[in-house]
């Protein structure tokens, strides 16, 4: 896929509307707990600054449902962005109207502006034309570097390009598209798919689209329990997506037809409740006893999965192996993260929880590519066109 990129353009002295994904996690004191998404767009920001542009960053944060919510303000992001760029970022307390215009008009070449949360206005998610026009009036040209939002046809992703036809992709989007295209086009075999977490229905389309390309699939978390139940095996009190069981059965059928390797855990860590003070033990087999909840894959599963990882040349991982946020139940996910990092495979990790796991394991720098958008990466691998990417094609 060939994209129009920032390197194809001249931004000298221009005001650039840069759509970024600064949807970062905040603690109760509104401190940023993980600035990965801010850092991910620094290459594009710094490149535009080197071109003497005025860089107008725009993002959403959280789900404010179309109205201002103090806890979802991008003000903490402006402070962090100032630290990372070494520039005093000018923060506008709105993303459209007189307030935004005033801040943008005060900016000079080489300045960075950050607009307030786009989703404080319902028109953003509605892709409203007049709102799109108001955003466009702030700038001379448009750059999209928000891969994590590019599967949404929102005003700042799609609508704005009707009014700012000078458009391009940033370096992050280019990197994301190149890495994911490598999985779809000619992945080096064996190709391993590691799927965990919940939202089985969200991942079924991706699994189906990759069946002709993958050699092995390993599962953990709610994904695994749903497939175990689809085989009519016991899952105890483990969370299972009942609505997805027919889909899981359909996938099983396809896997057998193609003679693909498919693994659910050989053993599990099970607990009486999902809490730090839970009673827990490791099962001897791949089913979960009645009355207990599966919270992690067991050591036999870790060993088997690590072997699958060692044999692979290409790996895509989305979703943790269990409730890794709780320390006693984190071992399986952490061991898988370490095994992926130690492999010689081209590895791509997507989804917030999987990224948190590789950060927790301290191996992020050993992963070939880390996707900043879980939902967007799944839709891309499902073969769906992403509205925010399609409009940037050459």
State mean pLDDT over 305-317: 98
> 227 and 129, same structural domain?
no
What pLDDT sits at residue 202? 83
State mean pLDDT over 100-121: 97
Of the residues 175, 198, 225, the one at which a domain ends: 175
What pLDDT sits at residue 75? 97
> 191 and 83, same structural domain?
no
The token pair that represents 279 in the structure block: 């009673």
Q: Are strands 293-297 and 268-271 parallel, antiparallel or unpaired?
A: antiparallel
Catalytic residue among 9, 37, 175, 203: 37
> 192 and 254, same structural domain?
yes
State mean pLDDT over 358-370: 93
pLDDT tens profile 85-99: 999 999 999 999 999
Does the structure show a pLDDT above 80 at 352?
no
335 closest CA partner among 348, 350, 317: 317
For the chain, give the percent of residues with pLDDT over 90.
88
199 included as an active-site residue: yes
> 128 and 198, same structural domain?
no
Does the structure show a pLDDT above 80 at 300?
yes
Catalytic residue among 79, 87, 101, 199: 199
Q: How many Å apart are CA 151 and CA 149, to the nearest integer?
A: 6
Of the pLDDT bands very low, low, confident and very high (cuts 50, 70, 90), residue 303 is very high
Residue with structure tokens 């059965």?
Answer: 249
Name residues whose C-beta falls within 8 Å of residue 282's C-beta, 6 or more positions apart in sequence. 267, 268, 269, 270, 298, 299
394 is a domain residue? no
**Of 6-10, 54-58, 201-205, 255-259, which gets the smallest average pLDDT?**
201-205
Name residues whose C-beta falls within 8 Å of residue 77's C-beta, 6 or more positions apart in sequence. 22, 24, 32, 38, 59, 61, 114
> 271 and 135, same structural domain?
no
231 is a domain residue? yes
Does the structure show a pLDDT above 80 at 368?
yes
**For position 264, which CATH number holds?**
3.40.50.1260
For the chain, give the percent of residues with pLDDT over 70.
100
Of the residues 175, 194, 218, the one at which a domain ends: 175
Catalytic residue among 319, 350, 351, 352: 352
208 is a domain residue? yes
State mean pLDDT over 76-93: 97
User: What is the per-residue DSSP string for 344-375?
Assistant: SSEEEEESHHHHHHHHHTT-GGGSSEE-S-HH
> 234 and 151, same structural domain?
no
In eight-state DSSP terms, residue 155 is T
104 is a domain residue? yes
Q: How many Å apart are CA 35 and CA 286, to the nearest integer?
A: 38
> 305 and 158, same structural domain?
no
CA distances from 64 to 23, 56, 73, 117, 123 (A): 12, 22, 10, 9, 12
What pLDDT sits at residue 374? 83
State mean pLDDT over 330-347: 96
Q: Rounded to a whole number, what is the distance in angstroms from the first to the last CA of the chain?
A: 9
> 140 and 49, same structural domain?
yes
Number of separate domains in the chain: 2
Does the structure show a pLDDT above 80 at 1?
no
In 230-362, the DSSP E strands lie at 261-263, 268-271, 280-282, 293-297, 314-318, 346-350
What pLDDT sits at residue 215? 96
Of the residues 175, 195, 212, the one at which a domain ends: 175
> 155 and 60, same structural domain?
yes
37 included as an active-site residue: yes
> 190 and 90, same structural domain?
no
**Of 164-168, 231-235, 305-309, 356-360, which gets the smallest average pLDDT?**
356-360
Quote the pTM value: 0.90
What pLDDT sits at residue 84? 97
196 included as an active-site residue: no
> 123 and 20, same structural domain?
yes
> 190 and 166, same structural domain?
no
181 is a domain residue? no
What pLDDT sits at residue 204? 85
Note down the domain range covering 279: 186-381
Of the pLDDT bands very low, low, confident and very high (cuts 50, 70, 90), residue 281 is very high
The token pair that represents 170 in the structure block: 């940033």
What pLDDT sits at residue 379? 93
Q: Which of 26-35, 201-210, 300-309, 367-376 has the highest mean pLDDT?
A: 300-309
Q: How many Å apart are CA 127 and CA 154, to the nearest integer?
A: 4
Q: Which of 57-66, 201-210, 365-374 has the highest mean pLDDT?
A: 57-66
Catalytic residue among 148, 170, 374, 375: 375
Of the pLDDT bands very low, low, confident and very high (cuts 50, 70, 90), residue 34 is confident
Phi, psi (rounded to 5 degrees) for 55: -100, 115
């Amino acid at each position: 896929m060939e994209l129009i990129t920032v390197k194809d353009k001249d931004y000298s002295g221009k005001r650039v509307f840069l759509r970024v994904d600064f949807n970062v996690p905040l603690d109760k004191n509104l401190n940023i707990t993980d600035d990965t998404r801010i850092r991910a767009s620094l290459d594009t920001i710094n490149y535009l600054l080197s071109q003497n542009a005025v860089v107008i960053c725009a993002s959403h944060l959280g789900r404010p449902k179309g109205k201002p919510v103090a806890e979802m303000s991008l003000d903490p992001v402006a402070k962090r962005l100032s630290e990372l760029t070494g520039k005093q970022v000018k923060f506008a307390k709105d993303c459209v109207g007189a307030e935004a215009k005033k801040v943008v008009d005060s900016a000079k070449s080489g300045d960075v502006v950050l607009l307030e949360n786009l989703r404080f206005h319902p028109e953003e998610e509605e892709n409203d034309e007049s709102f799109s026009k108001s955003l466009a009036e702030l700038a001379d040209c448009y750059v999209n570097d928000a891969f994590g939002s590019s599967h949404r046809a929102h005003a700042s992703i799609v609508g704005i390009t009707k009014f700012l036809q000078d458009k391009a992709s940033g370096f992050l989007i280019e990197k994301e598209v190149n890495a994911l295209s490598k999985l779809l086009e000619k992945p080096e075999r064996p190709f391993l798919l590691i799927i965990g977490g919940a939202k089985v229905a969200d991942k079924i389309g991706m699994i189906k689209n990759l069946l002709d390309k993958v050699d092995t699939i390993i599962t953990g978390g709610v994904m695994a329990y749903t497939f175990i139940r689809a085989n009519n095996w016991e899952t105890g009190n483990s969370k299972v997506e009942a609505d997805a069981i027919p889909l899981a059965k359909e996938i099983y059928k396809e896997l057998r037809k193609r003679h693909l390797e498919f693994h659910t855990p050989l053993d599990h860590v099970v607990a009486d409740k999902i809490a730090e003070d839970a009673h827990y033990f490791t099962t001897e087999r791949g089913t979960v006893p009645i009355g207990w909840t599966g919270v992690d894959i067991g050591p036999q599963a870790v060993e088997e999965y690590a072997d699958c990882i060692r044999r692979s040349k290409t790996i895509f991982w989305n979703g943790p192996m269990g409730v890794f946020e709780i320390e006693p139940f984190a071992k399986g996910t952490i061991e898988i993260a370490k095994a992926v990092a130690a492999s010689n495979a081209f590895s791509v990790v997507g989804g917030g929880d999987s990224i948190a796991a590789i950060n927790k394991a301290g191996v992020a720098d050993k992963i070939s590519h880390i996707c900043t958008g879980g939902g967007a990466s799944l839709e891309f691998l499902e073969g769906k066109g992403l509205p925010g990417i399609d409009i940037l094609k050459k």
